[in-house]
Amino acid sequence: MKKLFFLILLAVSSVTLFAQQAYYNDVNLTLTGIALKTELSQKIINTHTTQLQYTNVWGVLQQTDLDPSNSNNVLLLYGYNDGDANPITDRTRNKNSNGGNTGEWNREHTYAQSLATPNMTTSSPNAGTDAHHLRSSDVQMNGNRGNRKFAAGSGNAGNAGSNWYPGNEWKGDVARMMMYMYLRYPSQCLPDNVGVGTSVAIDPSMITLFLDWNAQDVVSTYEQNRNTILETEQGNRNPFIDNPYLATIIWGGTPAQDNWNMTSIEEKSLENAFNVYPVPSKNGDIHVHFKYTDEVKSLELFSVNGQKLKSVQNPKIENNEFVFNGLSKGFFILKAMVGNELITKKVVVN
């Protein structure tokens, strides 16, 4: 058991292998909740120093969307099969085969233009020409998606009722692009206008769908490469590609990949808000003792692999304590929403 617990801790601590980019040196990363959202929003707005013309986006995508395994091709958003002789489902295509005809790729507005408020245009530099959400996509596949909202699904890309599922490979990409657009254009590109899902208590405009996808589909080398190139082209980065866990700190939900070991920063800055005991628990009961109880909005318990095990909204707290009873042996992550602060603690049951 001790060996298993050590391996779990090793897996959790392995996120420290990723270095925080210098781009964030002037960002206060000890903030949480909406305060961190505002800080990151201001950062990516202020550093968006080059506004692309829509005609220039072709050349940018021929750099950003290259297939890491073949630099002659671009990856096609929503694509999944290069071997079925059907161009609509192609996953890759020659980077120079762009245009508006069958068998070519064009510029998909991942945040559909008509779903923004007001609608995006491409006649002048604005949200409609921001390459952080413009992706290479087969012309017909792009047309099939149209302006359908994103919704839950499984397998390959396609209709999800009257909505659209981007595919297992692409759902994390989509989520991180939608979160970027929300921070970059906070009143125009609301997540609940482009996706279908339950609103987050701390921020009604954010939906759990994108938080789940962000956690379930980890960042790829392809995403990392395009983020770095776009910093050169536009001046700004997508923070949720650099560290998906930033979304967890802001909005809660299923804990995402933590590239910067942010969990330890959260605990250090908020360590006095509540305590968990005994550590470790030997009978399966965990006591959560709060210093202040009037703003405790929710408690969520997750397994080490991100599966939500328990969720309690507006928990009934007696004598400043809430008790989780009968937990099985293992390593858990406890998330508490206290006011506008999301606080994380590690829980062990032996």
Poorest-pLDDT segment among 68-77, 157-166, 289-298: 289-298
| This prediction's pTM | 0.75
Q: Rounded to whole angstroms, how far apart are CA atoms 205 and 335?
A: 21
What's residue 9's pLDDT?
35
Poorest-pLDDT segment among 66-75, 154-163, 199-208: 199-208
Q: Rounded to whole angstroms, how far apart are CA atoms 306 and 335?
A: 12
What's residue 305's pLDDT?
67
205 compared with 292, residue with greater pLDDT: 205
Contact in structure between 9 and 333 (CB atoms under 8 Å)? no
Q: Rounded to whole angstroms, how far apart are CA atoms 132 and 143?
A: 20
106 compared with 201, residue with greater pLDDT: 106
Angle at alpha carbon of residue 71, lines to 69 and 73, rounded to 5°: 95
Helix H, strand E, coil C: the string for 31-65 is: CCHHHHHHHHHHHHHHCCCCCCCHHHHHHHHHHHC
The continuous run of DSSP H or E covering 192 comes out as: helix 191-194
Q: Rounded to whole angstroms, how far apart are CA atoms 260 and 90?
A: 35
pLDDT tens-digit map of 7-36: 333 333 333 346 799 999 999 998 888 999
308 compared with 213, residue with greater pLDDT: 213
Q: Rounded to whole angstroms, how far apart are CA atoms 263 and 10?
A: 14
Q: How many residues does the chain have?
A: 350
318 compared with 39, residue with greater pLDDT: 39
Mean pLDDT, rounded, for 321-344: 83
Q: Rounded to whole angstroms, how far apart are CA atoms 297 and 342?
A: 10
Q: Which residues are bridge partners to 165 per DSSP?
A: 158
pLDDT tens-digit map of 39-92: 999 999 999 999 999 999 999 999 999 999 999 999 999 999 999 999 999 999
Residue extents of the structural domains in the chain = 2-6+260-349, 30-251
Q: Rounded to whole angstroms, how far apart are CA atoms 230 and 43?
A: 15
What's residue 18's pLDDT?
64
> Which band of pLDDT confidence, cut at 50, 70 and 90, is reported for residue 268?
very low
The per-residue b/e assignment along 147-170, b for 16 or more CB within 10 angstroms, e otherwise, is ebbbbbbeebbbebeeebbbbbbb
> Which band of pLDDT confidence, cut at 50, 70 and 90, is reported for residue 2?
very low
Residue 34, amino acid: I
What's residue 13's pLDDT?
36
Its CATH architecture, for the domain 2-6+260-349, is: Sandwich (2.60)
What's residue 195's pLDDT?
98
Q: Rounded to whole angstroms, how far apart are CA atoms 78 and 157?
A: 5
